[in-house]
Each structure stands twice: as structure tokens, then as C-alpha cells.
Amino acid sequence: MKKIEIITTKTGKIQGYIGDGIQIFKGIPYAEPPIGDLRLNAPMAKKPWEGVFEALDYKPISPQPPPYTEYLPPPPQSEAECLNLNIWTPGCDDRKRPVMFWIHGGSHIFGSGRLLNGRVLPGKGDIVLVSINYRLGPLGYLCMPGAPSNIGQLDQIEALRWVHDNIEFFGGNPNDVTIFGESAGATSICALMAMPKAKGLFHRAISESSVTQPHGFDLSVRKTTADSIFKELNLKNDDLDGFRKLPVDEIIQALIKATEKALLTRTPLDFKPWVDGENLPQHPTKAIEEGYAKDIELLIGTNLEEWRFWRAFEPNFEDLPSSQIEKRIIYLLKAVGEEESKLPLVIDTYKKSREEINLPINIHEVYEAFMTDSIFRISSIKFAEAQRKNQKNTYMYLFNWNTPFENGRYGAMHAIEIAFVFGAFWEDYLFTFVKKTPETEALSEKVMQAWISFAKTGNPNHPNIPKWPSYDDKKRSTIVFDNEIEVWDDPLHREREMWNKMKQWSEF
């Protein structure tokens, strides 16, 4: 490891190292340890330190349950050290490069800012890349009297403040910041666009598979989630002092037990941000529609078969009888305020929609498409529609590359695009981790250049993709990323039109 020259920031001296021609700084603390009275409290800006901070290794991530998968061992966790960030830069000079600020996904319960490869984007685009850790689950998104709301979001804002105050020392421009993220990270992006405390800290946004349904930010759901946690901890729901004194392992175990019980009653816990009237004054889509983020250029999209990711947790899904799948669709219809009599309409709509793109589907795939739309795609379309009313530089994508893993069982699933965005591939297919091939590298090159171009100019177009028009509610031009990249007008329009008539959207 070749260490580089020590740099001086507003919080102290830092030394990183160089790899593949990129200067790398890992595990920089951006806030004070969120323990004691700072547990379930707003983050406190990091005080300047003495000596030199050696930013040579990733630091611990936010406490969380064991990961979904055993493909990779979980990294070290620490409540005291989790508020840290990582930086990759072509040079610590005065070039004032655009900054890309990554927020990880994981249902606001799992995940970290550790990247498989943070070196590629900075080298490709002469940009500065930042990734962060923030508090998760009951440590970051617990609704409790006497405690601030949306603490995980406040962590993200504090990290943005640190970047604003210090990124120039790493060759970045604090007045040219693009936030981007996937899944829970994308939901965080949309929330940040509507949060007063985040104003002025970023200038563009890229949302990959956001979750912004009409009732997705309701306070009542967060209270139910909190009550489940308090019950497992044998605490009253207003015992903030008692909560702050508990060992963090007890809180994570309570989360695990509460989750197991919630799954049995089909009422899973939810730790997304919520409308609190202060930190997040209103539903992000409503705020955006009213022009709250009219100065923020937006790139947003989803993957064609998001819900296929969850086949990993149901190995025999394809073998379930059709009658059971129909019951699932009916349950979903009722969840969005519709009658089960609409079942034939749903099935017919999805089958005709997919036939139009030469992708016929069976009843199991109808269910998955319905889930994809209800959680990810329709809410992203609505968000794009809302932003386009006030910002012409709004762009929509649909990621349609199918992973060959397990004979193509997972298709264009949730999170598959991340490997292409970062140019991070493995030597073999491993579930969400995509294999390095001439095909994947060629598509990745075009995706990366689009993301970089957008971060630099607010426009994702570049010479190696078809002309990508901005999104509007007439043509609804959408770029489709696959081995062959195309621009479609209003893709899967039958599904979108059906969802427009669903009560949860027509009454939103």
C-alpha cells in the first residue's frame, strides 16, 4: 500500500493511499459517535481531531441483523464508529471536480457504504466519489416520543455538510454535488429532495429503484413498527432514557424477533422515512410536484423485474399452484384499496403488456410484475412526472439486462444495475454480483458514462447511446438499458394506465 501526502481538512489531518491511480480515503468520521445521549438523537458534527487520521481501511458499519446472504461475510459493526464516509478522487488538487455522493440501500435496515470497486467511476469521469454509512433500523428510523424523527436522514445530511465543508481538499467542488442511491438509498434521495435541512447541499439526483408509494411515508406505520420493537425490549414507548442505556445487541435482537413475528402476521416492519411535519414536512412526491426541488435535475428509473430478487428467499416459488399465486395478487389488490373482482383485469393487462414487448409471462410472473410496479416502477414514474412539471432536465430509464445466474431465474432483478453503475464485476456469477465479460463491460461503460455525464451537466446523453430525450407526460421517453440500448416511448403503457386508475394513486 502506497500512502499519499497528508492533507489538512477542517476537521483535521488525513492520510490515504493510492490504488489504480486513484487516491483513496476510507472510514473518515463525519460526526461524533452516536452513543449515550446521542443514541436516537440528531448527529453532532465531528469535532477536530489531533494528529493524523489514517484513512487506510473501511471502518465499521451501522449495527444491523445478519445479512440476507452468506455469499460474503458481514463486515465489522460498531454503533460508536458507524458514522463514517469514504472518498475516491483522481487528485487532491484545486481542480474542483463534480462530486458523486452514494447512499446505499437495504430497506433502511441492512447495508453499508463499502463498495466492491470505488476506483472505476473517478478514473472514467474525472469525478470525486463519496460513499457513506448512516444509522439503520431502530437506531436510525425509530419513531419515539422525545427523540428527533428520521435520524438516518439527518445522518445523510450531516455527511453532505461534511462534504460541503471539506471536499475541496480532495479535489472536489462543493457546489457541484450529485446524490445517487439504490432502493432504500433511492428512497432517501427522494426524501432528501423534500427536506429543508438538505437544501443547497446537492444539485442533482439519481434515483435507482426508489420506493415512494402514496402511503409509504405514513406516521401510523412507523408507530406500529416502534411498538413492536418496544414490546420485545420490555420498554414503554416513551422511555427514551431506558432505550439509550440498552446494549446495542439487545436492540438488534429485538428487531430480529419483532421481524419474525411481523412476517407471520403479514405486517412487516417498516423503517423508511416518514412525514413528520418538520424534518420531512410532506410526502416527497407532493413536495416535488409543488416545485420544492425545482432546481434539482433528476435521473430516475427501475429494473424490469425488480421482484425476482425475492425468489432467493422462496426457492420453490415457480412450483406453487396457480391458485395460491392468484390469492397473493388478490391480497395485494386489497392492500391498495381494490376489490378482488379486478383480478382478471390485472392478469389480462400484464399478459397483453408483456406480449407487446415479446415477453409473454405466466401467472407467477404476473404476480412479480404486479409487485415490481406496486413498490418500485409506478412510484418512480409518478415522481418523474411530478419533477418534470418544474424541471425539464428529468430523465427516465428502464434496466432490462437479464442475469444468466441460475439459468436466468432472476432476470432483470432488483439491484442488478449497481454492478454496471460502478463497473464492479466478479470472475463468476454470484447472485447479485455480476460476472465480468465483454458483454457486461460494454454495457457498463455506457451506463457509467451516462451517470457521469448527468453528474457533470444534468444531461445523461453521450455519443455511445441513442439520443435520450428528457421525460414528459406525453411521449414518456425512456431509455432501455440492455445489450442493445434503445429509447422507448411510454414502455409498458398498459400497466401504467391501469395503475393510474387504482385508488391509491387516483386519490393521492
Among the listed residues 414, 417, 444, 495, the single catalytic one is 414
Q: Are 446 and 289 in contact (CB under 8 A)?
A: no
How far is the C-alpha of 206 from the C-alpha of 193, rounded, in Å? 11
Residues paired with 394 in a beta bridge:
298
Q: Residue 324, CB half-sphere, CA atoms under 13 Å: how many?
A: 6
In the residue annotation, 297 being an active-site residue is answered as no
Residues 6+ apart with CB under 8 A from 365: 350, 354
Residue 362 host element (H or E): none
Which residues lie closer than 8 Å to 445 by C-beta, 6 or more apart? 423, 464
Question: Which cell goes with 317?
Answer: 416459488
Among 183, 188, 379, 470, the one annotated catalytic: 183
- C-alpha torsion angle, residues 55, 56, 62, 67 (rounded to 10): 160
Rounded CA gap, 26 and 60, in Å? Answer: 11
Q: Between the CA of residue 129 and those of 300, 392, 440, 459, 471, what are the distances in Å? A: 19, 26, 22, 19, 27
How far is the C-alpha of 85 from the C-alpha of 80, rounded, in Å? 14
Single out the catalytic residue among 81, 289, 297, 306: 306
Burial class (CB in 10 A: 0-12, 13-18, 19+), 136: buried
Active site residue 306: yes
Cβ–Cβ under 8 Å, residues 139 and 79: yes
CB atoms within 10 A of CB 166: 21
Tell me the catalytic residues.
Answer: 183, 306, 414
